[in-house]
Chain A
Amino acid sequence: GENVEQHPSTLSVQEGDSAVIKCTYSDSASNYFPWYKQELGKRPQLIIDIRSNVGEKKDQRIAVTLNKTAKHFSLHITETQPEDSAVYFCAATAYGQNFVFGPGTRLSVLP
């Protein structure tokens, strides 16, 4: 079955700097890769996703890149702000399969 690893587990950056979180997956059949943000005490919220027929996707300060050959995908946050502080989860899935979530990255943006 699918296995998703996520690094780093914690990340601290200065406000205004960039943050990068990387996930690797094991199942080459996986073709959909969402990213979720979970603030303390709240529900996970989808922030961006990418499918395997696309190499990169951007939405304002957030971008996701996918390397199918190496089986990894990354979340990039530019010009970080304090409100970006949260736990971020990546996931991978193929049609007919469940999402497999990574263990999460706790991002702290220091003012």
Chain B
Amino acid sequence: NAGVMQNPRHLVRRRGQEARLRCSPMKGHSHVYWYRQLPEEGLKFMVYLQKENIIDESGMPKERFSAEFPKEGPSILRIQQVVRGDSAAYFCASSGDTDQPQHFGDGTRLSIL
């Protein structure tokens, strides 16, 4: 039973480019969460999605950031016109329901040159 799959593991972008981070949840999970983590810091909630719906995006910046979880395919976190401050590890987690354990992927390390 495959776990949460994130790709790419590492992504390098130049300022102004777009970054697309992908997350395939565990089999049977329909709840997906995205978190951002800076070195030596905690997990900052960004967005919570269920299939085709954004449930809570209160932690995601209004500009340049968007997320989707289509009926078919992985969830995607998209960052447009990246800036140096976007450099971080982005973790995706999935669960079977909101009060069930969240299982994390290995993360995408985004570096902005």
Contact = CB atoms under 8 A, between A and B. Distances in A.
Interface of A: 31-32, 34, 36, 42-46, 49, 89, 93-104
Most chain B CB within a 10 A radius of its CB, from A49, A93, A98: A98
Interface string B93-107: 000011111111111
Contact of B99 (A89, A94, A101): A94
A100 B107 CA distance: 19
Interface stretch (B13-21, B40-48, B60-68, B75-83): B40-48
A32 B95 CA distance: 13
A109 to B, nearest CB: 19
A28 B103 CA distance: 25
Contacts of B56: 98
Contacts of A95: 97-99
Contacts of B104: 36, 43-45
Contacts of B103: 46
Most chain A CB within a 10 A radius of its CB, from B45, B56, B98, B106: B98
A98 B46 CA distance: 11
A44 B91 contact: yes
Contact of B43 (A31, A45, A96, A101): A101
Given A89-B43, A98-B56, A101-B42, A43 B105 contact: yes
A36 B91 CA distance: 14
A43 B91 contact: yes
B33 interface: yes
Contacts of B48: 98
B101 A46 contact: yes
B106 to A, nearest CB: 5
